[in-house]
Structure 1
Amino acid sequence: MRGLFAVVLLVGLGLAGFAVHMAQGYVQKYQTALALERQSKVTPIELTEIYVATQALDYGDKLMPEMVKLVKWPKESLPSGWYADANILFKNNNLTPRHILRPMVQGEPILQAKITKPGEDAGLTSRLEKGMRAFAIRVDVASGVSGFLRPGDQVDIYWTGSVDRLSEDGETSFTKLIQTGIKLIAVDQKAKLEGVNGNVARTVTVSVKPEQVAALAQAQNSGKLSLALVGAKDDTIAESIEVDQNKLLGIERKEKKVVQAKESAKVCTIRTRRGAEVVAIPIPCSN
């Protein structure tokens, strides 16, 4: 009796193991089929090879072949002005190399707006946009924001001087905001960020329109210019500002009283003839 029970138990265990094995195989096949179905529904991303920087590139650096490499980039998000052909990026085997116009980090795409044409130097003229001019402003430790100015910063420009005002007596000294949001393109003789921090500049070069050049030249020759650094994320436009000594100290200007001259007393006369001579004789006037 016990032998029969053992046989039945072994047969049951075998059937249970076989059932588990079959169930695992079925589940695995189902999961594989489900994964294949999901994969078939995903739209493949189309990629294009473009050149990116293999290292950090600074303003003025020569662009060499070892500084770039081809990587796959999603075609739908390609930036404007990308390069994929080495013969175009490095013309004539790079005998006339391009130069870096804007600092780039490792992995950043090489774009047309960030490099010069073959053989073109990354001088100051390459940083001027169409219709803009470079103008130098004399500064010192006070007017130049204590050496914290860097190329690419934006500043507001204030003029301090004295002028004759016809409506007031004598000269009036005041400070006025004359230009806002002016872009710096060079500090002293440096147009790159490296080595500029902390140095007290003697001149800064700004990018302005031709009519602004005339205004700044006149202002610099007739008074003193001071710069105020604008925050990197500040997009507000400064309003017209003018402060003189009276406004600074809170002194109210007294209005002048205009005293009209009294009408001169009337003089009445009578004329009489004395021989050939006519004589005017004053007499009291009557109303």
Structure 2
Amino acid sequence: MDRVSLTDDLSFSRLVYGMWRLGDDADTSPAHVRAKIDACLDQGITTFDQADIYGGYEAEEILGTAMTPDLRGKMEIVTKCDIVAPAGRYSDARVKYYDTSRAHILASVDHSLRLMKIDHIDTLLIHRPDPMMDHFETGAALDEVVASGKVRTVGVSNFKRHDWTLLQSAMKTPLVTNQIEISVLHHVPFTNGDVAYLQEAGVPIMAWSPLAGGALFEASNAGLRDLLSKIGADHGVDDTAVAVAWLLAHPARIIPVMGTNNLDRIGRIGDAAKVGLDRQTWFEIYTAALGHEVP
């Protein structure tokens, strides 16, 4: 499995296993969670994506039930904070909101460490841009959790360029990634500047929902799926692997975050890395997704 460097001493596997659905599985036993992790590690997928809010603030703890020191040494763990929803430990919240205060960030880090039974987070992301963010307070808090050793690196999720530059302007620690929605169906980041500014800065991009949240399988996208299936047949993989390979082929070195609870599907996440797409094939897929040829 190829890897992408975020810093001199931290790299991610080119494909990441997303754990946002971990709590949705009928079986959340430590043994079953460990089986999912092992299925990833067997393919060279060593990076795992979490967030405090996943599973109604329960997914981190489900991961923690399976965590052991030897397993932790084989993983890079990403998690996120700042969304407060009326669920779990925030069930008394009157409204869903974002909290990028120092107190909330520090408390969230401590919760995540305790629940996942780890002593540090490899990368902490601010989950959503906060319109009430005091960038000086938030930036200092992120610097603080890195200086404490509880967090190795920090980044963001769903940020636009102006959100990124505002926060970074108040920080000593460099932001190392932005996790944004990108897929063959949600391809606007390739033309609206979202990818361009990160590519220019040499910042690795994490892509959430790389299969468009299941929309790829809707009848309205049958033509696109037929094309992906045809290309996949030439490579001995299925259509979903080709959809992810389409992201991998981009020179920005996008890191797709793949989430499924099905062990068989987990075992085939790495198929995307087996597919090489030339420029014309990439544009064939893009054209099918657009529904018309490029201008």
Q: Provide the TM-score with structure 1 as the length reference.
A: 0.21
Higher helix proportion (structure 1 or 2): 2
Tell which structure's C-alpha radius of gyration is larger.
1
Q: Which has the higher contact order (CA 8 A, sep 6+)?
A: 2
